[in-house]
Chain A
Amino acid sequence: MIKLSGIRKSFGRNEVLQGIDLTVNKGEVVAILGPSGSGKTTLLRCINYLEKPSDGEIQIGDFSLDFKHAGKKDIYALRQHSAMVFQQYNLFSHKTALENVIEGLIVVKKIGKEEARKRGIELLEKVGLGAKLDAYPSQLSGGQQQRVGIARALALEPEVLLFDEPTSALDPELVGEVLAVIRRIAKEGITMIIVTHEMSFAQDVANHVVFMDGGVIVEEGNPAELFGNPKEERTKQFLKRFTSEYSYSI
Chain B
Amino acid sequence: MKLDPSFIWTAFVQLWSAVPTTLLITLVSVLVGFVIGTITALSRIYRIPVLSQLSGAYVTFIRGTPMLTHLLLIYFGLPMIVDGLSAQLDLGWNSAKIPMIGFAYISFSITAGAYLSEVIRSGLLAVERGQMEAAWSIGMTTPQALRRIVFPQALAASLPNLSNSVIGMLHASTLAFTVSVVDLNAKAQIVASTNWKFFEAYIAAALIFWGLTIFIERITGFIERRINVYSKGGVA
Binding site for B on A (CB under 8 A): 48-50, 76, 79-80, 82-84, 86, 88, 90-96, 103-104, 107-109, 136-139, 145, 152-153, 156
Contact = CB atoms under 8 A, between A and B. Distances in A.
26 contacts: A79-B137, A79-B138, A79-B139, A84-B134, A86-B133, A86-B134, A88-B130, A90-B134, A91-B134, A93-B131, A93-B230, A93-B231, A94-B152, A104-B138, A104-B140, A107-B144, A107-B148, A108-B139, A108-B140, A136-B230, A136-B231, A137-B236, A138-B231, A138-B232, A138-B234, A156-B139
Which of B133, B156, B229, B236 has most A Cβ within 10 Å? B236
B134 A94 contact: no
A169 to B, nearest CB: 11
B235 interface: yes
Interface in B164-200: none
Query: What class of interface size applies to chain B in its complex with A?
Result: 20 to 34
Contacts of B128: 90
SS of A interface (majority): loop
A82 B138 CA distance: 8
A88 B133 CA distance: 11
Given A94-B156, A138-B234, 6 more contacts: A50-B136, A90-B130, A90-B131, A90-B133, A92-B134, A109-B139
A156 B134 CA distance: 13
A86 B149 CA distance: 17
A91 B149 CA distance: 10
A80 B144 CA distance: 15
Contact of A83 (B138, B149, B153, B236): B138
A83 B230 contact: no
B175 to A, nearest CB: 37
A83 B137 contact: yes
Nearest to B155: A94
B149 to A, nearest CB: 6
A167 to B, nearest CB: 17
Nearest to B231: A138
Nearest to B235: A138
Contacts of B136: 48-50, 79
B5 interface: no
B60 interface: no
- 8 closest residue pairs by CB, A with B: A138-B233, A104-B138, A90-B130, A138-B236, A136-B230, A90-B134, A108-B139, A84-B137
A92 B139 contact: no
A50 B129 CA distance: 11
Which of B130, B139, B153 has most A Cβ within 10 Å? B139
